[in-house]
Amino acid sequence: MKKGLIGLGILVALAAIFAMALPSILKSRGLHPDYAGPSYELPGQRALIISTSHGVLNKPGETKGKKTGVFGSEISVPYYDFQDAGMDVNIASIKGGTIPIDPMSYKFMIITDADKRSRKDDTFQSKVTKSLKIDNVDFTGYDVIFLAGGWGAAYDLGQSDVLAEKISAAYYESDAIIGGVCHGPLGLVKAKDKDGNLLIAGRKMSGVTDKQIKELKIDFTPLHPESALRAAGAQFEASTAKKDLFATHTVVDNEGRFVTGQNQNSGHVTAHEMMRLVAER
Could you tell me the domains of the chain?
Answer: 45-280 (3.40.50.880)
Entry pTM: 0.94
The pLDDT confidence band at residue 2, using thresholds 50, 70 and 90, is: low
pLDDT-derived band at 20 (thresholds 50, 70, 90) equals: low
What secondary structure, in 3-state letters, does the chain show? CHHHHHHHHHHHHHHHHHHHHHHHHHHHHCCCCCCCCCCCCCCCCEEEEEECCCCEECCCCCCCCEECCECCHHHHHHHHHHHHCCCEEEEEECCCECCCECHHHHCCCCCCHHHHHHHCCHHHHHHHHCEEEHHHCCHHHCCEEEECCCCCHHHHCCCCHHHHHHHHHHHHHCCCEEEEECCHHHHHCCCECCCCCECCCCCEECCCCHHHHHHCCCCCCCCCHHHHHHHCCCEECCCCCCCHHHCCCEEECCCCCEEEECCHHHHHHHHHHHHHHHHHC
Residue 14 has pLDDT above 60, yes or no: no
Q: Answer yes or no: are the C-beta atoms of 124 and 72 closer than 8 Å.
A: no
Instruction: Give the pLDDT band of residue 63 (cuts 50, 70, 90).
Output: confident
> For the segment 249-272, what is each residue's pLDDT rounded down to a tens digit?
999 999 999 999 999 999 999 999
Q: What is the pLDDT of residues 74-129, one digit of tens each?
A: 999 999 999 999 999 999 999 999 999 999 999 999 999 999 999 999 999 999 99
